[in-house]
Structure 1
Amino acid sequence: MTDDLLGRHRAVLPDWLALYYDEPLEITHGEGRHVWDAQGNRYLDFFGGILTTMTAHALPEVTKAVTEQAGRIIHSSTLYLNRPMVDLAERIAKLSGIPDARVFFTTSGTEANDTALLLATTYRRSNTLLAMRNSYHGRSFSAVGVTGNRGWSPTSLSPLQTLYVHGGVRTRGPFAHLDDYDFVAACVDDLKDLLGHTRPPAALIAEPIQGVGGFTSPPDGLYAAFREVLHERGVLWISDEVQTGWGRTGEHFWGWQAHARSGPPDMLTFAKGIGNGMSIGGVVARAEIMNCLDANSISTFGGTQITMAAGLANLTYLLEHDLQGNARRVGGLLIERLRAAAAHVPAVREVRGRGLMIGIELTKPGTDEADPAAASAVLEAARAGGLLIGKGGGHDTSALRIAPPLSLNVAEAEEGAAILEDALRSIQ
C-alpha cells in the first residue's frame, strides 16, 4: 500500500475502522488460496476475508455465474419474483434441518442476526435475550446489545435486556477446572438459576464456535442441554452460523449439529462464506416464527439476483467437491501440525478448533495473562513470511485465527504451518 492511499484512508474513513499491520496491506487480486498486494507480493491466505472467501479466490464457477447474471439483470428488489432467490432459498431450507423452514435474505451477518432478534422478540413478546459471554454477533445497535465481548461492544445502550450465560469458553472462567460432563452440568445449573430470577426471555443466541472470541467453544452437547431447559419455558434457540456454517468445522455442515441431541435450533443465521465474497446473509426459521411479523417489510438488497447467482454457484461447488470432507481431512492435519509446533513455544496457551477453523491463544509464558502484543508480533512475522492470518479473542485480542478457504490442499497446509511455526518461534 502506498503512503498516499493510507493517508487518504485516514482522512476520509472513521478512526475506529481497524486496519491490520504496522504497514497496512492493499490486496489487489487473488487466485485459489493466494492473494497479491499492490507491490506484487504473494501471500498464502489463511483468513479468507474474515472467513468469507470460503471456497477459493476467483473461483471460475462463481465468477462465471456472476458475469452471466450481470449481463441479464443485477437487481430488482424483493418486490418482484426472483428466481435465483427462490432457488437458493429452497436449497438452504432443505440443508438447514429446520422443519417447515422459511428463509429471509439480508446483506450481512449483522443484519441476519438483527432480523433474528426482531423475530424472536416479536414472537415471544419479550425484549430479554440470553447470550454467551465472549460472544460476537455484529455491528448494529441490537447486535452490539447481545455481544459479550468488550472489545467489540462500543456502547452499553441497547434496545434489549441481555443476560450473559457461562459456557462459551471451555478453558477459562469459574468452571474451567471441571471435566466436560461436570462443566456442562455446572453451566446448565447456572442457566436454571439465572432463569429463576428473571421473566422468561425471548431467546438464546449463541455461536457454536465463537468467531471473534478466538474460535473458542464449549463441550459438544452443551447447547442441546441448554435447549432442553429453554424449551420447557418456551424460549427460542438461535444458532449464529455466520462463521461455522457450510461445513467449515469439517465434522458437521452446521455448528449446531455438534449439539444435536434435542434437534435443530428454532432459527439459524448465516452469511460470510455462502457468497464467497458477495454480500449474502440470512435467517432460517420455522414458518410460525418467520411469519409472526404483522407489518410489511422488504429487503432492498437482500437476495438480489447477482448475489444469489454467486451463492448458488458457490454452494453447488462446495457440495459437489465435498469441501466439508476436505476441511475435516486437511484441517485435522493442520491442527495437529500446529499443536506439534506450539509445543515448543511457551507463549502458546492452547491450540483449539475444528476443521479449518483453528485458534492459537497466546499468553505471557507461565501465566494465564493475555499477550496481545505477542499476537500482533506473530501476525506481522507471518505476513513477512508470506502468510495472512487473523486475530481475535475475548482477552485483549490474544488469539490467532486461522481459517483458510475450504479447498486448501495438504501442501498448502504444510507450507502455512511452517511459516506460522517460524512466526511463533520468532517471539521467544
Structure 2
Amino acid sequence: MYYQESIEYKVESIYHAKTKEYFSEVFNSYNNGNYRSAIVMLYSVVVCDLIYKLQELSDRYNDTVAVSILEKIREEQNENPNNPKWENTLITEVKGRTNLLETQDVLNIDYLKKHRHLSAHPVLDQLDMLVRPNKETVKANIVNMLDGILCKAPLLSKKFISTFLEDLVSVKDQLIKDNEFENYLNSKYLSKINKPTEEKLFRDLWKFTFRLEDDNTNNNRDIIFRALLVLYKKNKVSFNSMIDSDKSYFSHIKLENEKILNLILGFMSLFPEVYNFMEESVKLIFNNKATKNFDVFSKSIFLSESISQHLEAIKSRMEDAFISGRLSEGGRRLLFKVSLEHGTVNQFLDMMIDLFSASRSYDIADINFQNYILVYGERFSKEQFNKILNAINENNQIYERRQAWRDNNTLKELIDKRYKDEIDFDDYPNVRL
C-alpha cells in the first residue's frame, strides 16, 4: 500500500502518453531539488493534459461540448498569441461545462496556479523576487494533480447522456450477449467516469427506462435497461444509497405502462433490496397488482423472502386457482434467471414438472409440454426425467392426446443424449413411443 501511494507508482498510471512524457521533466526537477521549475512545469503539464482530454472527447465521442471549448480556446489564441489568458478560459470552461474536474480538483488547480505564479513571476518588494516552494508543497501539488487529473481517463461532458444513448442504439443489434455488452460499456465508458458522472448517468438511465414514454425511448427501452443493469451491478451499494436518499425521484415509475412494469419487476426481482427503498405508496401499488394479476405476481420475486419461497407460492397459487398453463414466457425466464443466480434451479425444474403433471386437458398438456418440459429438456436430471415419465403415465389428459406420440419421442431423444439405457421405458406403459 505504501508503494502504491508513491509518486513513482502513480506516474505509471498517467492516462495520456504525451502527458507522461512531459511529466518526466516535472519529476526530474523534483528529484533534483529544482522545486520552482517543477511547479512551473507541472502547471503547464496540467493545461496540456486538459487539452488532450478534450481532443479525445471530440475525436472519439463526438462530444459537442469538448468541440466548442476547443474552438473557443483556438479563437483566443489566434486573437492574442502571446496572451496566456486562454489558460484561464480553458479551466473555467472545463469546470463549468464538463465533468472532467470535481470540486476538489478545481481547488487544487487554483492552489497550484498560485504557486506557479509566485515561482515564475518576480515580486519586486521582497528579498527573493522568485519564491522557492519547499519540497513538501511541491510533492503535495504533484500528488494532487496525479490523483485528480493526470491519471484519470477523459470524462464526458454534462451532455454525456445523449452521446451515451446514441451509442447504445448503434450497437443494440450487434452486442446481443450480455458479457460482450458489459465489456463494451465498461471499456468505452464506465471505467472512465468519475462518481458525479456515474451518479448522473444512473439517474438518467433510470428515468429513460422507467418513466419516459416518447417514441424514441419506447423503441430503445430494452437496450437502455440492459445498460442500467450493467451500471447498477458495478456499484450497487452506492446506487442503493442514492435510491434510499431520494425515494421520491426513484419511486416515480410509470407502472401503467406494461413494458415499464415488466422491466421494473425484473429489476427488483434481481435486486430485491431496491424494492425496500421505494415509497410506501409505490409498494402498495405493486402488492395490489400482484394480488389481482397472476403474471405480475409470478414476476414479483421481491415480494417473497426468497426465490425458493416464491416458487412454492407460485405453485400453490396456480393449483388453488386452477390456472395451470398460464405462467408466461417472461415469468419463466425471470424465475429461471434468478434461480440460476441463487442455486435453486432444481427447485424451479421440479416446479415445471409439477405444473406439467397437473395438466387438465389435452390442449393444456400440449402447451405445458412445450413450455415446461421441452424448453428445459437439457437441464433435467435422471430423477427428474423419471418424474416426467411418471407424470405422463398417470395422467390420461397427457398420454391420450394426439401430440403425445411425437412429444414422447422428443423426450426420449433428450433422455438418450445423457442417460441412454439408464431409464427403463417399460416401467411407463402409457408412454407410447
Query: Going by fraction, where is helix more abundant, 1 or 2?
Result: 2
Relative contact order: is structure 1 or structure 2 higher (C-alpha 8 Å, sep ≥ 6)? 1
Whose radius of gyration is greater, 1 or 2? 2
TM-based fold match above 0.5: no
TM-score of the superposed pair, with normalisation by structure 2? 0.21
TM-score of the superposed pair, with normalisation by structure 1? 0.22
